Chains A and B, each alone.
Chain A
Amino acid sequence: MKRLGRIWTVLVYLFLYAPMFILFIGSFNDGKDLSEFEGFTLSNYLDLFRNSHFVELLGNSILLAIFSAVLATLLGTLAALGIQAMRGRLRRLVMSLTNIPLVNPEIVTGVSLSLLFVFVGRKMLSTENILGFTTLLIAHVTFCLPYVILSVMPKLHQLDPSLMDAAQDLGCTPLQGFFKVVLPELLPGIISGAIMSFTMSLDDFVISYFVYGPRFATLPVEIYTYTRKQVPPSLYAMFTLMFFLILIVMIAMNVIQARDERKQKKRIKNA
């Protein structure tokens, strides 16, 4: 039974990774077709850097992801602090507001925002091309905010309320107490919210697709346009490079996390 389960697990992982292997192989392929290997080459990688179009788009995506993550983390952390102080009906109301982007299908979120932007553009700013960096930023912050709140709130729950009292007894002003005592305790939640926002913003296609404009496009949106025609193999090269970059980042984060947990266990043992 146990063995069967393991074999099944291996098969499912193969299923998850098979298409990625196809793309890795495609990045070294001399032909354009993913299903026909016409010989080994590195020219796709050279193309990627020579023709800076994709690198530029990736730059756009990273820029947008940084702005979205910072803004969402700031607004979201403040919101979590505020929500934590709320009780009863108000709190339930605000939490259901937070839930809307989480349960709404992405396409509906994208469509609804594009309707708003185009409406405001036409009726208030009398412009037909309002869509661009700002509209993308607004959309991304909106769908990232709930995730920041959901990762900061549990840390606020765990927080011992007497910590703040102790800080103030020892002569801290409330603001000092917040920065010296509360914020460090919340930091893991804030950081994971920021990282989540960054990766979701970087990878988002569906919502961006409805609110991007010709003046500013992101990598996923442009990839979509290419998949309707012929995908240049240098995109597979970019996919491969990004895969290993993300893999390294994830492993590094895991190692740090594992070390932290071990340290904490030791601390509990020693106490």
Chain B
Amino acid sequence: MKTKALASPYIVWMLIFTIVPLAMVFYFAFTTNSGEFTFTNMARAAEYLPVLMRSVWYALAACVICLLIGYPVAYVIAQTSASWQRVLYLLVTLPMCMSFLLRTLAWVALLRNTGIINTLLAGLGIGPLPLIRNAGSVIMGMVYNYLPYMIMPLYTVIAKLDPRLIEAAQDLGCDSAQVFRRVILPLSMPGIVSGITMVFVPAVSTFYISQKLGGTNNTMIGDIIELQFKGSINQNLGAAMSLILMLLVFVSIWLMNRFTGEGDEGVATL
């Protein structure tokens, strides 16, 4: 009985600094600047639907690319010796500790028309290629920044796979493609799901990557929200868009868990 009370400072803290702020988002989203109830903010936020759809689209593309790039890497890391696994895993996590602002800025230096890659290409008589200020460069920036979030959970799951299961499948006549499709892939599903979530959420809500690597046609929902608050344009509209973004993320996570958790966890939580 007494032990439970140890959590009370934490619960109070979280109520004041998570629940109340979210209630504030609701409050600002449905009021005018002078505090009167209104639907105008939500209606105006709905005008940004194409921007929201674009953000979802870019984030989904980044998720798929991260998965395709990251899965083989996680698999290779898990196959190496214990000490190599340590080193390679450390090297995956290290970039996450470094300023992502400066790292993204370095991509600008690599990709822009007078940048490093185009200068090298010019030496070969090619170019300059339009490598920046388009959808491709924004998605690439997301893949670059969030790839470690995909590799980490994938590696954790694959490293724990029981090698006897693979041997058993081989004994029972599976070729290596079948082993992968029927044993390894289904068992790595939890890693895939958490990897996709960990890439999707920051990708869909980013504002820096699109500012630096995108053009005027690649504005994302995060950019618009940032502008409303930091450009001091319209906090209430910004709150309405934050609310929509939050609901979008919660619904997509819920859907993810719904589709993948069926059978085992899905029933238990109901």
Contacts and interface: CB of A to CB of B under 8 A. Distances in A.
Contact of A103 (B97, B239, B250): B250
A220 B99 contact: yes
Interface in A62-107: 75-76, 78-79, 81-86, 90, 94, 97-98, 100-101, 103-107
Interface stretch (A14-22, A41-49, A184-192): A14-22
B101 A81 contact: no
A129 interface: no
Interface stretch (B42-50, B166-174, B197-205): B197-205
Contact of B18 (A8, A101, A203, A210): A101
Nearest to A75: B10
A203 B9 contact: no
A5 B21 contact: no
B116 interface: yes
A223 B20 CA distance: 30
A108 B245 contact: yes
A112 interface: yes
B72 A94 contact: no
Interface string B223-256: 0011001100001001100100110011001000
Interface residues of B, number: 85
A85 B8 CA distance: 12
Contacts of B9: 75, 78-79
B103 A20 contact: yes
B109 A108 contact: no
> Interface majority SS on A: helix, strand, loop or mixed?
helix
Interface of A: 1-2, 5-6, 8-9, 12-13, 15-20, 22-23, 26, 33-35, 75-76, 78-79, 81-86, 90, 94, 97-98, 100-101, 103-109, 111-116, 119, 138-139, 141-142, 145, 149, 199, 203, 205-206, 209-210, 219-220, 223-224, 227, 231, 235-236, 239, 242-243, 246-247, 250-251, 254, 258
A97 B18 contact: yes
Contact of A203 (B22, B99, B112, B230): B99
17 contacts: A16-B144, A19-B110, A19-B144, A20-B98, A20-B106, A34-B105, A81-B7, A82-B5, A82-B8, A111-B229, A113-B17, A145-B10, A203-B99, A227-B101, A243-B98, A250-B93, A258-B83
A16 B92 contact: yes
Contacts of A78: 6-7, 9-10
Contacts, number: 224
B109 A8 contact: no
Contact of B246 (A1, A105, A235, A239): A105
Closest A-B pairs by Cβ, 8 of them? A82-B7, A79-B10, A105-B205, A112-B21, A34-B109, A19-B106, A82-B6, A85-B3
Contacts of A17: 91, 95
